[in-house]
């Protein structure tokens, strides 16, 4: 089984069948993403449940441990990025690559907060990392084949560059986006156009 299939399985196993239970799960995940991004992983589970509009018992029914919540939020975010990479297959190569990398930067606040709470040996972390690499490598390869991205860069290089930018302290998102654009200009070849 591929890492992408394993990741999809991790995400799908969480999905309840009843509509109200799915709504509660979605509300909990959205509240957790927001809380982890803004307050860090030490935010109280009671605050997450309250923000989601559910009781703490509903949170614990869905996520028996804090770690389980971390892993689920992380897997959901990475799965969303992987699905986006698949959807971008019909977009011109350079646009697909940069759109996807910009979405990674937008997701990094949440991903970084949760990732720091997981150990590098976490099975979910390892699966998610491989899934991200598997989703992004074809986008870079396609841009390289089209002569739009430097041939001497690997996707791991690119992911580290983008992660570094996403983790830096900026005055606002406009500044972060300018810095990302400058960095991506260093990856782009003349064949990518403006």
The pLDDT assigned to 14 comes to: 62
The pLDDT assigned to 37 comes to: 81
Half-sphere exposure for 49 (CA within 13 Å, toward CB):
14
Low-confidence ranges of the chain (pLDDT < 70): 1-17, 109, 113, 119-121, 191-194
Q: What is the C-alpha separation between 50 and 64, in angstroms, rounded?
A: 17
CA distances from 60 to 24, 43, 57, 182 (A): 12, 15, 5, 44
**Structural domain containing residue 12:** 3-192
CATH number, domain containing residue 186: 1.10.357.10
Q: What pTM value is reported for the model?
A: 0.81
CB contact set of 111 (below 8 Å; sequence gap of 6+): 74, 77, 78
The pLDDT assigned to 120 comes to: 62
What's the total number of domains in the chain?
A: 1
The pLDDT assigned to 49 comes to: 96
The pLDDT assigned to 126 comes to: 81
Residues pairing with 188 in the sheet: 149
């Amino acid at each position: 089984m591929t890492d992408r299939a394993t990741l999809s399985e991790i995400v799908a196993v969480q999905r309840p069948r009843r509509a109200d239970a799915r709504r509660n799960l979605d509300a909990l995940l959205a509240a957790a993403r927001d809380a982890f991004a803004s307050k860090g992983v030490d935010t109280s589970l009671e605050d997450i449940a309250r923000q989601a509009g559910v009781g703490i018992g509903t949170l614990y029914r869905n996520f028996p441990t804090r770690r389980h919540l971390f892993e689920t939020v992380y897997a959901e975010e990475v799965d969303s990025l992987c699905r986006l990479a698949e959807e971008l297959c019909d977009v011109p190569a350079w646009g697909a690559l940069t759109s996807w990398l910009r979405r990674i930067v937008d997701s990094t606040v949440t991903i970084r907060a949760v990732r720091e709470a997981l150990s590098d040996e976490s099975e979910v972390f390892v699966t998610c990392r491989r899934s991200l690499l598997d989703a992004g490598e074809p986008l870079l390869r396609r841009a390289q084949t089209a002569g739009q991205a430097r041939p001497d860069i690997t996707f791991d290089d690119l992911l580290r560059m983008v992660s570094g930018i996403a983790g830096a302290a900026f005055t606002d998102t406009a500044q972060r986006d300018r810095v990302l654009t400058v960095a991506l200009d260093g990856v782009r070849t003349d064949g990518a156009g403006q």
